[in-house]
Amino acid sequence: MKLGIGVQTQNALNDDCPIEGAKMLKEAGFDAVDFSLHRYLKNKDIYSFSINRFFEKTVEELEAFFTPHKEALEQVGIDVWQMHMPYPMYVPKGSRQLNEYLQKIVAPKSMRLCSFLDCKYIVIHGFKLAYYLGSEEKEWEATQAFLEELAPLAKSLNITMCIENLYDGIGGRAVEGPCCDAVKAASRIDAMNDKYGAEVLGFCFDTGHANLVHLDFEQFITTLESRLKVLHIHDNDGWRDLHQIPFAFTKTRENKSATDWEGFMRGLKNIGYRGTLNFETGPALTSFPDDMKGDTLKFIAGIGRYFARNIEKMS
Amino acid sequence: MELVCAPWGIVSWKFPNQGLNDVRRSFDSIALDIGGIAGFHAYHVVGWRKKKRDRSYRHWIMDNPEQLRGILPNYVSVIKGKNFNIPIAYANFLPPKLGEKEDKDDFFDSMRSLLKECVAECGKAGARYVIMRPLAVGIGERDVWEAGKEYYLSLAGIAKQYGVTILLESQYRINNGGIVRGLCSDPHEAKKWVDDLNNAAGFECFGFHLDIGTCSFLGQNMRDVAVMLGSRIKAVTLRDSDGTGDTAILPFTAVSGNRPRTDWLNIIRGLREISYDGLTIMNFAGTASITSPMLKPALIKYAREIGDFFAWQIDMENMLKRYEKRVLFGAGNMCRAYMKCYGEKYPPLFTCDNNKDKWGTEFCSLQVKSPEELKNLPKDCAVLICNMYYREIESQLRDMGIENPIGFFNDEYMPSFHFERIEDMEEENEARDWGTDAERA
């Protein structure tokens, strides 16, 4: 099976005329998208307790809202490979009412929309609670309880929820956040899937977040094996979560990419990854002039094809 | 916990007396840097062999490892002459890359011979531990365990003979200027290496050195690293870092705005959780290097105080265990933190407060009493001050004639935290309700 090339819909597919964006994505060379559902309830608004009413629509209303997007993507032959649920789903200092709304209304409706768009994978952020609860294990327990609320629905809709390696901030620096331990993640995924007798949980490897905390891409991916379902491919300077185009950042006079893309490709080769090479590079589309959006997308898709070729070629 | 001063930035190998004397005023123990004493680290020998060979005061021990037997005892006797303990040493190590013309096997053979000499000399100097990096250069990742195992085990016999434990430490590699976690940086892997080596040796002669600077530089959750490695950790190096490079800044001094650059909370959580009681090495080489010789004694004294503070934080729960009976002083956030984390395990009889309005009330299931009540305590009951005005309250209690043991409880680095501070709770809960429908529209 050929590796697919995908990109997030953020800044590419707009609500007013989805067919325009869908055609641009297809022309650029993508055969899949990562549907950016999180942009309909933005994280900065959640953290500032400024919640819009988007997810108060009924499921039917939401499906009607996204029908043009679905039809546009179908028309050009692009699959929705993965989706990003709004995040966070728990705000430590938020009210009970807010957190219940996120977990009991926004999350299940996101799952329904994932199914509506014929999407198999939905990326869900783990809760960032280690500071308060004292340990990564207790933090996971809280995330696990939330995921288990959704697991029966995931099973019935044949969706795999994907946890993602995240970072946290200490004094302006990135440090490990939830799901940065591949060994623990693998065992937790297996335990939940065994419990529900279905592949309800998988992993989304985020290259940018991994680069911020200097994870060894190859080792991490290789440890996850077939639990790795989806990717967030993007690059940064090792300092800030910039979501830029791979190979863009150098740190030496030789001007070679400082991010370990070789290790990334070797890891995917090691596990025989057969999913989509998905780019989470929405911000790159706004850093280039709007007139260049199509060219920028083509360039990103070209990098995807480079990855695919090299992964195939590796022995 | 034994506090040890790292010598870098303070003690010159060539003229060691002033630096050693400065350190001795504040520390009883000092670490021995064998690479620094004998031709710097071995990698200098590799990379700058021709360029610096003419510097007569350096000893090129890679060529003649047995020279260490002649060099090291003299230096150790200078240190011992100042009544220092030398509990730990840093062995020489190779660089991440060899020079183009260097033969890997030759260097590995030389390193093995050199490290055997290191272990023997460390043992003779009274060091219990030697920190030794693996020989990873030029070895593919898949072969590194086999090669490392053979290399470390070749030193096990001599380590046993001299009563020295070899400590592994985490590594990183550089990819075109980018940093990537390396050998033993994954605590699962480090744990396996230490256990497998001890099993293969048939006795415990391997452990782990947790370098906070490296962990912090790599963005690791140090609570998890410490808890996972547990009693395998025999030594901890404290150093701060601004995150941009592998630096050794005086602990608790690297800041961004008013926030620490290093995740001290998780370091303390982890080490407290495993009741760490091994060596703690204060490495502030970077800060010391830029400090005038006029100020170095004051810097070293402050480093010692920081080390004592760190040890006190790690030992917080042990301090609570020492007293069978205890009361608290303070009925605010710190008392609340105590009750959340330790109230069940080490229950206080009551708490007291200088605020008259609180007397007779209940706070976190504790009766709040007047400080006068402390005069009626049994003599062995400790008073734990849960208020940041420690010294002032301690004076108040002593002036009242209270002779009970007084302890300072501190909630800066707790095993867990409440989501809100008391003073913020009511006000913020209202503000954080996500508003009316009209506001949300």
- The DSSP 8-state label assigned to residue B262 in this structure reads S
Polymer length of chain B: 441
User: What share of residues in chain A are helix, strand, coil (percent, to 5)?
Assistant: 50, 15, 30
Instruction: Pull the structure tokens for residue B376.
Output: 């009626």
Q: Is A186 on the interface with B (CB under 8 A)?
A: no
Q: Which residues of chain B are within 8 Å of residue A134 when distances are taken between CB atoms?
A: 269, 414-417
Distances (CA, A) of B211 to A239, B192, B429: 21, 18, 41
Q: What's the pLDDT score for residue B287?
A: 97
Cα gap A268→A311, rounded to integer Å: 7
Dihedral sign from CA coordinates of B229, B235, B240, B246: negative
A107 vs B244 pLDDT, higher one = A107
Cα gap B48→B53, rounded to integer Å: 8
Q: What's the pLDDT score for residue A286?
A: 93
Q: Is A207 on the interface with B (CB under 8 A)?
A: no
Q: Which residues of chain B are within 8 Å of residue A249 when distances are taken between CB atoms?
A: 178
Cα gap B14→B6, rounded to integer Å: 17
3-state secondary structure of A176: strand
Q: What's the pLDDT score for residue B426?
A: 58
Q: What's the pLDDT score for residue B101?
A: 61
* Chain position carrying tokens 């660089």: B95
Q: What's the pLDDT score for residue B39?
A: 47
Cα gap A246→B114, rounded to integer Å: 44
Average pLDDT, chain A: 96
Q: How many CA atoms lie within 13 A of B178 on its CB side?
A: 30
* Chain position carrying tokens 């993507």: A73
**Taking CB atoms and an 8 Å limit, are A211 and B261 in contact across chains?**
no
**Taking CB atoms and an 8 Å limit, are A251 and B177 in contact across chains?**
yes
Quick check: A108 pLDDT over 90?
yes
3-state secondary structure of A212: helix
Q: In this complex, how many residue pairs, one in chain A and one in chain B, have their CB atoms less than 8 Å apart?
A: 138
pLDDT tens by residue, A38-70: 999 999 999 999 999 999 999 999 999 999 999
Q: Is A102 on the interface with B (CB under 8 A)?
A: no
Nearest to A78 by CA among A136, A133, A27: A27
Distances (CA, A) of B3 to A300, B120, B267, B397: 53, 24, 16, 31
Q: What's the pLDDT score for residue B46?
A: 40
Q: What's the pLDDT score for residue B432?
A: 46
**Taking CB atoms and an 8 Å limit, are B257 and A53 in contact across chains?**
no
Dihedral-angle region of residue B333 (phi above 0 means left; psi in -120 to 50 means alpha; beta otherwise): alpha
Across A245-249, A259-263, B114-118, B309-313, least confident range: B114-118
Query: What DSSP string runs through A130-166?
Result: HHHHSSHHHHHHHHHHHHHHHHHHHHHHT-EEEEE--
Instruction: Pull the structure tokens for residue A142.
Output: 């809280």
Residue A256, min C-alpha distance to chain B (Å): 6
Cα gap B330→B350, rounded to integer Å: 10
Cα gap A111→A86, rounded to integer Å: 11
Bond prior to A88 in cis (omega within 30° of 0): yes
Q: Tell me the one-letter amino acid at A83.
A: M
Interface probe, candidates A214, A222, A235, chain B, greatest B C-beta count within 10 A: A214
Interface probe, candidates B97, B144, B171, B176, chain A, greatest A C-beta count within 10 A: B176
Whether A165 contacts A179, CB under 8 Å: yes
pLDDT tens by residue, A131-185: 999 999 999 999 999 999 999 999 999 999 999 999 999 988 999 999 999 999 9
**Taking CB atoms and an 8 Å limit, are A51 and B440 in contact across chains?**
yes
Polymer length of chain A: 315
Instruction: Pull the structure tokens for residue A93.
Output: 């200092």
Residues with Cβ < 8 Å from B368, sequence gap 6 or more?
B331, B350, B351, B352, B353, B358, B359, B360, B361, B362
Report which secondary-structure segment, H or E, holds B32.
strand B32-33
Q: Which residues of chain B are within 8 Å of residue A132 when distances are taken between CB atoms?
A: 416-419
**Taking CB atoms and an 8 Å limit, are A214 and B269 in contact across chains?**
no
- Distance between terminal CA atoms of chain A? 17
Residues with Cβ < 8 Å from B345, sequence gap 6 or more?
B320
Whether B171 contacts B185, CB under 8 Å: yes
**Block means of pLDDT (10 residues each) for chain B, length 441 residues?**
95 89 98 71 43 50 73 89 96 71 72 87 94 79 81 94 96 91 93 96 97 95 97 97 87 93 96 96 96 97 98 94 95 96 96 96 96 95 96 97 96 91 63 42 34
CB-nearest to B218 from A92, A171, A214 is A214
Residue B212, min C-alpha distance to chain A (Å): 13
Domains and their CATH numbers in chain B: 2-314 (3.20.20.150), 323-408 (3.40.50.720)
CATH code of A4-313, in short, is: 3.20.20.150
Residue B66, min C-alpha distance to chain A (Å): 38
- What are the beta bridge partners of residue A162? A123, A202
Nearest to B416 by CA among A92, A128, A129: A129
Which pLDDT band, with edges at 50, 70 and 90, does A218 fall under? very high
* Chain position carrying tokens 């080792």: A219
**Taking CB atoms and an 8 Å limit, are A171 and B269 in contact across chains?**
no
pLDDT tens by residue, A75-87: 999 999 999 999 9
